[in-house]
């Protein structure tokens, strides 16, 4: 039973790792090669920024797509009476949670953020597990936003990098 539990956790961790590698396959160069006419329509200054993976205010959505790639989430709303769109880029984080249960909960923009509750038993904790239960730690992967770009119409109006 313990080996089966460890095997499931190991498989989940490997699948999460593989998914993060597959999701990261798109590069600036591959996006430019796939969309040469769109890239050629930009000014030389915007072409240089796109090649460096950078964006600026006033840049069209297509240039942001070539520079940063496809957004993981797209949100829309109204700010100061103007409709806007937010492209949210996420990353997967993996954490080892010794002696905890993991329950996903909603995070702003609808992302999952981990919430933990401690086991309630009367045994001593030794390192990464509590004897006689939980001989292996919980490995939890969750999605978190790390950058957001904002648009009004077809133009970028700003962006932000999110820190922990």
The per-residue pLDDT for range 108-154, each reduced to its tens digit, is 444 444 444 444 444 444 444 444 455 555 677 888 899 999 999 99
- What is the edge-to-edge ordering of all strands in the sheet holding 73-79? 73-79, 82-97, 138-152, 155-161
Whether pLDDT at 29 is above 60:
yes
Q: How many domains does the chain have?
A: 2
Whether residues 61 and 98 share a domain: the answer is no
Whether residues 122 and 145 share a domain: the answer is yes
User: What is the domain range of residue 21?
Assistant: 2-26+70-161
Whether residues 84 and 110 share a domain: the answer is yes
The dihedral through the CA atoms of 21, 112, 142, 77 has a sign that is positive
Whether residues 150 and 75 share a domain: the answer is yes
68-74 average pLDDT score:
95
Whether residues 95 and 144 share a domain: the answer is yes
Least confident stretch, 26-35, 39-48, 78-87, 127-136: 127-136
3-class SS shares of the chain: helix, strand, coil, % to 5: 30, 40, 30
Give bridge partners of residue 85 from the DSSP assignment. 76, 151
Across 6-15, 126-135, 155-164, which has the greatest mean pLDDT?
Answer: 155-164
Whether residues 74 and 139 share a domain: the answer is yes
103-108 average pLDDT score:
47
Structure token pair of residue 75? 């949100």
Answer yes or no: pTM beyond 0.75: no
Tokens 């961790």 locate to 13
User: pLDDT-based confidence at 62, cuts 50/70/90?
Assistant: very high
Are 84 and 150 contacting, i.e. CB atoms less than 8 angstroms apart?
A: yes
∠ Cα 29 26 86 (to 5°): 105
């Amino acid at each position: 039973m313990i080996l089966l539990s460890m095997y499931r956790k190991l498989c989940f961790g490997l699948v999460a790792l593989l998914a993060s590698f597959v999701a990261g396959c798109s590069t600036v160069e591959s996006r430019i090669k796939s969309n040469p006419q769109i890239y050629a329509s930009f000014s030389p200054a915007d072409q240089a920024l796109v090649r460096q993976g950078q964006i600026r205010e006033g840049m069209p959505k297509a240039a942001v797509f070539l520079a940063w790639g496809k957004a993981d989430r797209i949100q829309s709303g109204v700010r100061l009476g103007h409709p806007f769109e937010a492209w949210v880029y996420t990353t997967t984080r993996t954490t080892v949670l010794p002696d905890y249960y993991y329950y996903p909960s909603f995070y702003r923009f609808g992302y999952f953020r981990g919430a933990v509750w401690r086991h309630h038993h009367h045994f001593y904790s030794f390192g990464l597990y509590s004897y006689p239960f939980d001989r292996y730690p919980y490995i939890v992967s969750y999605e978190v936003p790390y950058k957001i770009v904002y648009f009004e119409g077809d133009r970028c109006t700003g962006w932000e990098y999110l820190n922990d």
